[in-house]
Amino acid sequence: MTIEQEIKRHEKEVMASVSKRYAACCRRCKGNEGFQRHEIRRRTFYCQLKNGQPGAVRSWLVRWKCLNCTCTFTDYPPFALPYKRHIKPAIFEMVMKMCRDQKATYRSSTNGRAGHSSLWRWFDWLSSLFVQGQACARFILSADPNSLLHRNDYFVPPYKSRSKSRATVLTIGFQVLDRFMAFERFVAENFPQVRNTASPTGDAILQSDNISHTRSTLACTFLAFPRHPH
């Protein structure tokens, strides 16, 4: 299924009022039952279309109300990130290209799919999640002592930035994203049922380093890409 088809399927489900809730639990009280669809909100997603060209697909995000604590929250499908119009896989791919491809520049990494300033901002966003990246690494290393994650090299050539502070942002952003992706792979491989039920809604989750969580708690607490602080 292409990403465009995935977005369309999501839209169909929302319009048919059978939208599934991706978040496994309430972000405030962590309860996992008793939810009511609260409202739906328009959202444009920038992604690659069927013809291979970059484009925009209009769809919806659903807001749910927890009947236990009355908190309302936006539910993000797996391809979306809070406050980002570009889909998650595309953002990750462009950031990784900038880091791993020796010749890549801000402009060539996005290749017309996004403004080069967007890439600049995504690095700022990722580097602001340094603590969560560390929590991902801690989780993986405690659960799998043979993991080589801590040996990954996050060097970004100095010619990719004009200042030392920018070089630091690139390096930290690279490290955070690599750890997030390693974490997603780890959870998908070891807790396959989590992938379909978790969503990027929890802030606190990645700060947990208790690996004895039950599977349902994992669904609530991991795979979470925290909100952008701004």
Contacts with Zn ion, residue ranges (CB under 5 A): 26, 28-29, 31, 66, 68-69, 71
Q: How far is the CB of 70 from Zn ion (least distance, A)?
A: 7
Here the tokens at position 95 are: 């950031």
For residues 34 and 158, which CB has a smaller minimum distance to Zn ion in the complex? Answer: 34
Q: Determine the Cα–Cα distance for residues 7 and 4; give it in Å rounded to an integer.
A: 5
Q: How far is the CB of 221 from Zn ion (least distance, A)?
A: 14
- The CB-side HSE value for 22 (13 A sphere, CA atoms) comes to 25
For residues 31 and 89, which CB has a smaller minimum distance to Zn ion in the complex? Answer: 31
- Where are the strands (E) in the chain, listed by range? 35-48, 54-66, 72-75
For residues 66 and 119, which CB has a smaller minimum distance to Zn ion in the complex? Answer: 66
Q: How far is the CB of 38 from Zn ion (least distance, A)?
A: 12
Q: How far is the CB of 12 from Zn ion (least distance, A)?
A: 28
What is the amino acid identity at position 71?
C
Here the tokens at position 5 are: 């088809």
Q: How far is the CB of 23 from Zn ion (least distance, A)?
A: 11
The position carrying tokens 């959870």 is: 187
- Burial code (b: 16+ CB inside 10 Å, e: under 16) for 126-138 equals bbbbeebbbbbbb
For residues 69 and 188, which CB has a smaller minimum distance to Zn ion in the complex? Answer: 69
State the sign of the Cα–Cα–Cα–Cα dihedral 35, 36, 39, 40: positive
For residues 31 and 78, which CB has a smaller minimum distance to Zn ion in the complex? Answer: 31
